[in-house]
Amino acid sequence: MYSKITGTGSYLPEKILTNQDLENMVETSDDWIRTRTGITQRHIARDDQVASDLALYASQNAMKAAGISNKDIDLIIVATTTPDMIFPSTACILQNKLGIENCPAFDVQAVCSGFVYALATADMFVSSGKCRNALVVGTEIYSKIIDWNDRSTCVLFGDGAGAVILSQSNAPGILSTHLHASGSYSNVLSAPGSISGGKVQGDPYISMEGSTVFKFAVKVLEEVVQEAVSQNNLQAADIDWLVPHQANIRIIQSTAKKLGIPMDKVVVAVDKHGNTSAASIPLALDIAVRDGRIHPGQLVLLEGVGGGFTWGAVLLRW
Protein backbone atom coordinates (compact mmCIF):
# COMPACT_ATOMS: atom_id res chain seq x y z
CA MET A 1 0.00 0.00 0.00
CA TYR A 2 1.24 3.49 -0.88
CA SER A 3 -0.01 7.03 -0.31
CA LYS A 4 -0.50 9.55 -3.09
CA ILE A 5 -1.68 13.16 -3.30
CA THR A 6 -4.93 13.09 -5.23
CA GLY A 7 -6.06 16.69 -4.87
CA THR A 8 -4.75 20.11 -3.89
CA GLY A 9 -6.46 23.31 -2.80
CA SER A 10 -5.65 26.74 -1.42
CA TYR A 11 -7.20 29.93 -0.15
CA LEU A 12 -5.93 33.48 0.25
CA PRO A 13 -7.79 36.27 2.10
CA GLU A 14 -9.20 39.00 -0.12
CA LYS A 15 -7.23 41.89 1.37
CA ILE A 16 -3.87 42.51 -0.31
CA LEU A 17 -1.18 44.52 1.44
CA THR A 18 1.43 45.79 -1.02
CA ASN A 19 4.93 47.05 -0.37
CA GLN A 20 3.65 50.52 -1.22
CA ASP A 21 1.05 50.16 1.54
CA LEU A 22 3.81 49.26 3.98
CA GLU A 23 5.74 52.38 3.00
CA ASN A 24 2.90 54.34 4.61
CA MET A 25 2.97 52.23 7.76
CA VAL A 26 6.64 51.79 8.65
CA GLU A 27 10.04 53.12 7.55
CA THR A 28 10.74 50.89 4.56
CA SER A 29 10.53 50.94 0.77
CA ASP A 30 9.29 48.73 -2.04
CA ASP A 31 12.83 48.48 -3.43
CA TRP A 32 14.29 47.46 -0.05
CA ILE A 33 11.68 44.72 0.43
CA ARG A 34 11.85 43.34 -3.11
CA THR A 35 15.65 43.36 -3.23
CA ARG A 36 16.09 41.50 0.07
CA THR A 37 13.07 39.19 0.07
CA GLY A 38 11.51 39.05 -3.39
CA ILE A 39 8.13 39.93 -1.86
CA THR A 40 5.85 42.48 -3.56
CA GLN A 41 2.60 41.82 -1.69
CA ARG A 42 0.94 39.60 0.89
CA HIS A 43 -2.66 38.71 1.85
CA ILE A 44 -4.14 39.73 5.19
CA ALA A 45 -7.09 38.01 6.90
CA ARG A 46 -10.06 39.97 8.17
CA ASP A 47 -10.25 40.66 11.89
CA ASP A 48 -13.10 38.17 12.21
CA GLN A 49 -11.29 35.37 10.37
CA VAL A 50 -9.40 32.58 12.13
CA ALA A 51 -7.09 29.86 10.85
CA SER A 52 -9.88 27.29 10.53
CA ASP A 53 -11.85 29.65 8.27
CA LEU A 54 -8.97 29.81 5.79
CA ALA A 55 -8.43 26.06 6.14
CA LEU A 56 -12.10 25.39 5.37
CA TYR A 57 -11.94 26.96 1.90
CA ALA A 58 -8.60 25.34 1.06
CA SER A 59 -9.92 21.95 2.20
CA GLN A 60 -13.09 22.23 0.14
CA ASN A 61 -11.01 23.10 -2.94
CA ALA A 62 -8.73 20.10 -2.33
CA MET A 63 -11.65 17.70 -1.90
CA LYS A 64 -13.24 19.00 -5.09
CA ALA A 65 -9.97 18.47 -6.97
CA ALA A 66 -9.70 14.92 -5.60
CA GLY A 67 -13.31 14.17 -6.50
CA ILE A 68 -14.30 13.16 -2.99
CA SER A 69 -16.77 14.39 -0.37
CA ASN A 70 -16.49 15.06 3.33
CA LYS A 71 -17.78 11.53 4.00
CA ASP A 72 -14.63 10.10 2.40
CA ILE A 73 -12.21 11.84 4.82
CA ASP A 74 -11.08 9.65 7.70
CA LEU A 75 -8.12 11.67 9.05
CA ILE A 76 -7.49 15.41 9.45
CA ILE A 77 -4.10 16.89 10.28
CA VAL A 78 -3.68 20.65 10.46
CA ALA A 79 -0.27 22.31 10.56
CA THR A 80 -0.47 25.76 12.12
CA THR A 81 1.44 28.13 14.37
CA THR A 82 -1.59 30.40 14.73
CA PRO A 83 -4.41 28.16 15.97
CA ASP A 84 -7.92 29.45 16.58
CA MET A 85 -7.44 28.93 20.31
CA ILE A 86 -5.28 27.01 22.78
CA PHE A 87 -7.74 24.12 22.55
CA PRO A 88 -9.61 22.42 21.05
CA SER A 89 -7.30 21.87 18.12
CA THR A 90 -7.86 23.78 14.91
CA ALA A 91 -8.21 20.37 13.25
CA CYS A 92 -11.23 19.55 15.43
CA ILE A 93 -12.78 22.94 14.70
CA LEU A 94 -12.17 22.39 10.98
CA GLN A 95 -13.68 18.92 11.21
CA ASN A 96 -16.88 20.41 12.58
CA LYS A 97 -17.01 23.14 9.92
CA LEU A 98 -16.62 20.49 7.23
CA GLY A 99 -19.43 18.41 8.72
CA ILE A 100 -17.17 15.38 9.18
CA GLU A 101 -18.03 12.94 11.96
CA ASN A 102 -15.83 10.71 14.08
CA CYS A 103 -12.41 10.66 12.42
CA PRO A 104 -9.06 11.41 14.07
CA ALA A 105 -8.22 15.12 13.95
CA PHE A 106 -5.20 16.84 15.43
CA ASP A 107 -2.75 19.71 14.97
CA VAL A 108 0.97 19.65 14.22
CA GLN A 109 3.16 22.56 15.34
CA ALA A 110 6.50 22.70 13.55
CA VAL A 111 6.19 26.32 12.37
CA CYS A 112 7.27 26.75 8.73
CA SER A 113 8.11 23.03 8.44
CA GLY A 114 4.66 22.17 9.72
CA PHE A 115 3.16 21.03 6.44
CA VAL A 116 6.10 18.71 5.74
CA TYR A 117 5.74 17.25 9.24
CA ALA A 118 1.98 16.86 8.80
CA LEU A 119 2.28 15.23 5.38
CA ALA A 120 4.94 12.81 6.67
CA THR A 121 2.62 11.88 9.55
CA ALA A 122 -0.36 11.38 7.26
CA ASP A 123 1.76 9.18 5.00
CA MET A 124 2.33 6.76 7.88
CA PHE A 125 -1.42 6.49 8.49
CA VAL A 126 -2.36 6.07 4.83
CA SER A 127 0.45 3.80 3.63
CA SER A 128 -0.07 1.49 6.62
CA GLY A 129 -3.74 1.11 5.76
CA LYS A 130 -4.98 2.91 8.90
CA CYS A 131 -6.99 5.36 6.80
CA ARG A 132 -8.01 5.81 3.18
CA ASN A 133 -8.13 9.57 2.64
CA ALA A 134 -6.30 12.07 4.82
CA LEU A 135 -6.90 15.80 4.68
CA VAL A 136 -3.62 17.60 5.35
CA VAL A 137 -3.76 21.37 5.78
CA GLY A 138 -1.34 24.20 6.41
CA THR A 139 -3.11 27.37 7.59
CA GLU A 140 -1.75 30.56 9.13
CA ILE A 141 -2.81 34.04 10.16
CA TYR A 142 0.57 35.60 10.94
CA SER A 143 -0.83 39.11 10.71
CA LYS A 144 -2.07 38.62 14.28
CA ILE A 145 1.40 37.90 15.71
CA ILE A 146 3.31 40.58 13.81
CA ASP A 147 4.51 43.83 15.33
CA TRP A 148 3.52 46.20 12.53
CA ASN A 149 6.06 48.73 13.83
CA ASP A 150 8.95 46.29 13.35
CA ARG A 151 10.13 46.74 9.78
CA SER A 152 12.46 43.73 10.01
CA THR A 153 9.55 41.30 10.36
CA CYS A 154 6.29 42.96 9.29
CA VAL A 155 7.34 43.03 5.63
CA LEU A 156 7.93 39.28 5.52
CA PHE A 157 4.73 37.51 6.48
CA GLY A 158 1.24 36.96 5.13
CA ASP A 159 -1.89 34.89 5.71
CA GLY A 160 -3.25 31.93 3.77
CA ALA A 161 -4.03 28.21 3.69
CA GLY A 162 -3.18 25.24 1.50
CA ALA A 163 -4.45 21.67 1.62
CA VAL A 164 -3.96 18.27 0.01
CA ILE A 165 -5.84 15.00 0.00
CA LEU A 166 -3.52 12.05 0.60
CA SER A 167 -5.12 8.78 -0.50
CA GLN A 168 -4.30 5.09 -0.63
CA SER A 169 -2.71 4.04 -3.89
CA ASN A 170 -1.40 0.87 -5.50
CA ALA A 171 1.40 2.86 -7.13
CA PRO A 172 4.11 4.79 -5.26
CA GLY A 173 3.27 8.43 -4.54
CA ILE A 174 5.25 9.56 -1.52
CA LEU A 175 8.64 7.91 -1.90
CA SER A 176 10.25 9.03 1.36
CA THR A 177 9.96 11.57 4.15
CA HIS A 178 12.76 13.17 6.18
CA LEU A 179 12.21 15.12 9.40
CA HIS A 180 14.73 16.86 11.67
CA ALA A 181 14.81 19.30 14.57
CA SER A 182 17.37 21.04 16.76
CA GLY A 183 15.98 22.78 19.84
CA SER A 184 19.33 24.41 20.58
CA TYR A 185 18.30 27.16 18.13
CA SER A 186 14.94 27.82 19.80
CA ASN A 187 15.80 31.44 20.63
CA VAL A 188 16.82 32.38 17.08
CA LEU A 189 13.32 32.46 15.59
CA SER A 190 10.41 32.58 18.01
CA ALA A 191 7.29 34.24 19.32
CA PRO A 192 8.37 34.25 22.97
CA GLY A 193 5.11 35.23 24.63
CA SER A 194 3.37 32.74 26.92
CA ILE A 195 -0.21 32.31 28.08
CA SER A 196 -1.04 32.80 31.73
CA GLY A 197 -4.55 33.32 33.10
CA GLY A 198 -5.90 33.60 29.59
CA LYS A 199 -3.61 36.53 28.75
CA VAL A 200 -0.38 36.81 26.80
CA GLN A 201 2.60 37.36 29.07
CA GLY A 202 5.78 38.80 27.60
CA ASP A 203 6.31 39.66 23.93
CA PRO A 204 3.74 37.90 21.70
CA TYR A 205 5.34 39.00 18.44
CA ILE A 206 7.78 37.28 16.10
CA SER A 207 11.45 37.68 17.00
CA MET A 208 14.10 36.69 14.47
CA GLU A 209 17.87 36.78 14.00
CA GLY A 210 17.71 37.15 10.24
CA SER A 211 21.32 36.38 9.27
CA THR A 212 21.45 33.28 11.48
CA VAL A 213 18.17 32.00 10.05
CA PHE A 214 19.41 32.54 6.50
CA LYS A 215 22.69 30.67 6.95
CA PHE A 216 21.10 27.79 8.82
CA ALA A 217 18.22 27.46 6.36
CA VAL A 218 20.41 27.24 3.27
CA LYS A 219 22.67 24.68 4.94
CA VAL A 220 20.03 22.27 6.20
CA LEU A 221 17.76 22.57 3.18
CA GLU A 222 20.58 21.47 0.90
CA GLU A 223 21.39 18.62 3.27
CA VAL A 224 17.84 17.33 3.58
CA VAL A 225 17.27 17.41 -0.18
CA GLN A 226 20.49 15.46 -0.70
CA GLU A 227 19.34 13.02 1.98
CA ALA A 228 16.04 12.47 0.19
CA VAL A 229 17.46 11.90 -3.28
CA SER A 230 20.32 9.74 -1.98
CA GLN A 231 17.93 7.43 -0.12
CA ASN A 232 16.06 6.89 -3.38
CA ASN A 233 19.22 6.35 -5.46
CA LEU A 234 18.65 9.61 -7.30
CA GLN A 235 20.44 12.90 -7.77
CA ALA A 236 19.20 16.44 -7.32
CA ALA A 237 19.23 16.81 -11.12
CA ASP A 238 16.52 14.13 -11.32
CA ILE A 239 14.01 16.35 -9.53
CA ASP A 240 11.43 17.79 -11.92
CA TRP A 241 10.05 20.36 -9.46
CA LEU A 242 11.38 21.74 -6.20
CA VAL A 243 8.60 23.21 -4.07
CA PRO A 244 10.33 25.01 -1.21
CA HIS A 245 9.04 26.84 1.82
CA GLN A 246 8.35 30.36 0.57
CA ALA A 247 10.30 32.40 3.14
CA ASN A 248 12.64 34.55 1.12
CA ILE A 249 13.70 34.51 -2.53
CA ARG A 250 17.37 34.64 -1.50
CA ILE A 251 17.05 31.46 0.55
CA ILE A 252 15.23 29.76 -2.33
CA GLN A 253 17.83 30.86 -4.88
CA SER A 254 20.79 29.95 -2.68
CA THR A 255 19.40 26.49 -1.94
CA ALA A 256 18.69 25.81 -5.62
CA LYS A 257 22.19 26.98 -6.58
CA LYS A 258 23.85 24.69 -4.02
CA LEU A 259 21.80 21.77 -5.33
CA GLY A 260 22.48 22.62 -8.97
CA ILE A 261 18.75 22.94 -9.68
CA PRO A 262 17.87 25.71 -12.18
CA MET A 263 15.31 28.25 -11.01
CA ASP A 264 12.98 27.30 -13.86
CA LYS A 265 12.44 24.01 -12.00
CA VAL A 266 11.63 25.78 -8.73
CA VAL A 267 8.08 26.82 -7.81
CA VAL A 268 8.15 30.40 -6.48
CA ALA A 269 5.14 32.12 -4.91
CA VAL A 270 6.81 34.24 -2.25
CA ASP A 271 6.46 37.38 -4.39
CA LYS A 272 2.65 37.30 -4.18
CA HIS A 273 2.13 35.61 -0.80
CA GLY A 274 5.05 36.54 1.44
CA ASN A 275 5.98 33.97 4.07
CA THR A 276 2.81 32.11 5.06
CA SER A 277 4.69 29.64 7.28
CA ALA A 278 3.02 26.20 7.30
CA ALA A 279 0.70 27.26 4.47
CA SER A 280 3.44 28.25 2.04
CA ILE A 281 4.36 24.84 0.61
CA PRO A 282 0.79 23.63 -0.08
CA LEU A 283 -0.09 27.07 -1.48
CA ALA A 284 2.83 26.92 -3.92
CA LEU A 285 2.08 23.29 -4.76
CA ASP A 286 -1.54 24.06 -5.57
CA ILE A 287 -0.53 26.89 -7.88
CA ALA A 288 1.90 24.68 -9.82
CA VAL A 289 -0.60 21.83 -10.09
CA ARG A 290 -3.43 24.04 -11.28
CA ASP A 291 -1.38 25.94 -13.85
CA GLY A 292 -0.18 22.66 -15.36
CA ARG A 293 3.49 22.78 -14.45
CA ILE A 294 3.30 19.64 -12.33
CA HIS A 295 1.88 16.62 -14.10
CA PRO A 296 1.73 12.84 -13.59
CA GLY A 297 4.98 10.91 -13.43
CA GLN A 298 7.14 13.82 -12.35
CA LEU A 299 9.40 13.83 -9.29
CA VAL A 300 8.45 16.58 -6.85
CA LEU A 301 10.46 17.55 -3.78
CA LEU A 302 8.85 19.54 -0.95
CA GLU A 303 11.20 21.07 1.64
CA GLY A 304 10.97 23.54 4.49
CA VAL A 305 12.69 24.93 7.55
CA GLY A 306 11.15 26.77 10.49
CA GLY A 307 11.55 27.94 14.05
CA GLY A 308 12.70 25.33 16.48
CA PHE A 309 14.68 24.81 14.33
CA THR A 310 12.68 22.19 12.45
CA TRP A 311 13.31 21.12 8.89
CA GLY A 312 12.36 18.35 6.53
CA ALA A 313 11.56 17.12 3.04
CA VAL A 314 9.08 14.91 1.24
CA LEU A 315 9.99 13.30 -2.07
CA LEU A 316 7.08 12.12 -4.18
CA ARG A 317 6.12 10.87 -7.60
CA TRP A 318 3.18 12.87 -8.91
Instruction: Please check whether residue 12 is in contact with residue 226, taking contact to mean a CB–CB distance below 8 angstroms.
Output: no
Please provide residue 100's backbone torsions phi and psi, each rounded to the nearest 5 degrees: -100, 135
The H or E element that residue 4 is part of is strand 2-11
Choose, from 112, 133, 178, 248, the residue flagged as catalytic.
Answer: 112
- Please indicate whether residue 245 is annotated as part of the active site: yes
First to last CA, the chain: 16
Q: CA 284, CA 267: separation in Å to the nearest integer?
A: 7
The catalytically annotated residue of 133, 245, 248, 273 is 245
Q: Is residue 33 a contact partner of residue 200, using CB atoms and an 8 Å limit?
A: no
Q: What angle do CA 33, 283, 32 make, to 5 degrees?
A: 0
Continuous segment of H or E residues that includes residue 44: strand 41-44
Active site residue 275: yes
Question: Are 314 and 300 in contact, with CB atoms under 8 Å apart?
Answer: no
Q: Which of 81, 105, 112 is nearest to 282 (CA)?
A: 112
As a whole number of angstroms, the distance between CA 73 and CA 63 comes to: 9
Question: What positions carry a catalytic annotation?
Answer: 112, 245, 275
